Amino acid sequence: MSKPQPRSDAHDDVLLDLILRASRAITELVDRVEILEAKQQAADNGNLFNQTETIRESTELKRELDELRHVVVAEPPREWLTVDEAAALVGRSTVTVRSWCKNDHIGTFYKRVWRINKALLHQFYVARFGEDRLPAGLRDQG
């Protein structure tokens, strides 16, 4: 019996890229917030700036912060299943589900146990068997 393969380097590269892009976006937004705060402080001290421009910048910054908050905070949490749960959900054997984890990368091998992402299981099942054969427990995913 062969050992389960760890996640691919490509998967880790994608995650690292997402983290780096989010970090850059946050850094840029923080810099812009600091500039707006400096303008506000200057205005409070009697140094007048173009108020229309400052309000426009502030509104735009708030919109961008809301979008970033949606990406970082509002992303739905991943639902992880055990091999037994996934097998029961799709009506397949645990051996089959372990094979999918190893060969089709629908799970993560963590602390000697497979953890299967329910959304990835849904995507895999639709791609392999079609939407019409999707088990009821996976229909709410996607």
Query: Which tens digit of pLDDT belongs to each residue from 45-94?
Result: 766 656 666 677 777 777 776 666 655 544 445 678 999 999 999 999 99
Joined together, the tokens standing for residue 31 give 């810099």
**Would residue 107 count as lying in a domain?**
yes
pLDDT score, position 98: 93
In sequence order, which residues have a C-beta less than 8 Å from that of residue 119 and are 6 or more positions away?
78, 79, 141, 142
Give the domain extent around 124. 80-138
> Where a domain ends, among 38, 72, 106?
72
pLDDT at 17 over 50: yes
Q: Would the pTM of this model clear 0.75, i.e. be above it?
A: no
Distance of alpha carbon 45 from alpha carbon 24, whole angstroms: 32
Between 35-44, 55-64, 67-76, 126-135, the lowest mean confidence (pLDDT) is in 67-76
d(C-alpha 41, C-alpha 75), whole Å: 35
CA distances to 4, 17, 105, 115 from 112, rounded to whole Å, are 9, 27, 16, 10
Pair of tokens at residue 105: 């990368």
Closest C-alpha among 95, 89, 96, 97 to residue 134: 89
Last residue of a domain, one of 72, 93, 114: 72
